[in-house]
Amino acid sequence: MDLEFSAAEDAFRAEARAWLAAHVPDTPLPSLETAEGFAAHRQWERTLFADRWSVVSWPEDYGGRGASILQWLIFEEEYYAAGAPGRVSQNGISLLAPTLFEHGTAEQRARILPPMASGEAIWAQAWSEPEAGSDLASLRSTAVRTDGGWRLSGQKTWSSRAAFADRAFGLFRSDPDAPKPHQGLTYLMFPLDAEGVTVRPIGRLDGKPAFAELFLDGVFVPDEDVIGEPGQGWRVAMSTAGNERGLTLRSPGRFTAAAVRLTALWRGQADPSDTALRDRVADAVIGARAYQLFTYAGASRLAAGSRIGAESSLNKVFWSELDIALHETALDLLGPYGELADGAQEAPSHGSWAEGHTFSLAGPLYAGTNEIQRDIIAERLLGLPKGRR
């Protein structure tokens, strides 16, 4: 791995940094887990798209810049370092789009990707069900064949962004007689305002509707909204899951920027004699840097033609635990004021540490629990025998 950037990559970084300096709002946007904040973040997506910064690694035909994976990492570093708003389009851009690039048709990419890039269509992930979370193959929601498409029925839960999003993607059981649970599944997209869809928001610890449960009652979906072959949804879903656990959802720029903010907190208000807290800050900074280097190594392998498989589970365990450690250390530095959420007049950093901590607690659960990821690491990377389940 060459750790030196090329002149073109340095120029790309400078262009991104200048644009962000000119456009990032001076005042943080309201939480995207509220109706007001969701609308403000959708507008931010439009601002990004207008100058082709919303999806830098996509082909130009879909609104991107055709940037390399290293340029994408550079952009992400600059994005988080600039304190730019969280991405309300993340489910679509980071999860569904890579799946469409790998398994979708040309018609689907042309129809779906541009409005996704512009923020016109915000996507929710509709995978988990009341009895099918980490054990995704046990899902019960069904897709029944009908003229020109499918009828979806069942319940999805913990659907990120679904409270305010426009469309969703998920897996459905289309062949109940398939010999194994992960067979006979079909990957479909559907609008959240379609007849037969009921969206019921789920409040987070702070009361904001970061999730929703979806009730589907005979919702019609045309054939054109099936991704991949009917019955082959598991293979398509594993493509999405790899992106969710690995590189595209959690770029290292998110954590290196947080580590810089944490260091500033320490320097500004910590008790220098508190060596235990000092060591936690140092560990967080080292962890963020280690994740950055590990990611660059992975990106170099991808650029050379390799694929990232079970290694994405290593990523997922590492970044999810690092995220919690970073935020817990920050809250301990801030003391009682750290508990104040956004909207409170005295909330440090507009409550961003408190909100970030709330979100980080979900990290070991979503995208497949860390227990599941450790099983994958043990069996597929270390070659250990399967444990009892």
| Cβ atoms of residues 9 and 56 within 8 Å | no
Q: Which residues pair with 73 in a beta bridge?
A: none
Amino acid residing at 207 = G
Structure tokens belonging to residue 264: 């500033």
Distance, in Å, from the CA atom of 380 to the CA atom of 116, rounded to the nearest integer, reads 34
Q: Of these residues, 76, 129, 213, 244, which one is catalytic?
A: 244
Radius of gyration for the alpha carbons in the chain, expressed in angstroms and rounded:
21
Q: How far is CA 240 from the centre of its chain?
A: 11
Neighbours of 79 (CB within 10 A): 23
Which one-letter DSSP state was computed for residue 166? S
| Cβ atoms of residues 271 and 335 within 8 Å | no
Task: Answer yes or no: 328 catalytic.
Answer: no
Q: How far is CA 161 from the centre of its chain?
A: 11
Structure tokens belonging to residue 18: 């200048």
**Exposure of 325 by Cβ count < 10 A (0-12 exposed, 13-18 middle, 19+ buried)?**
middle
| Cβ atoms of residues 63 and 49 within 8 Å | yes
Cite the active site residues: 244
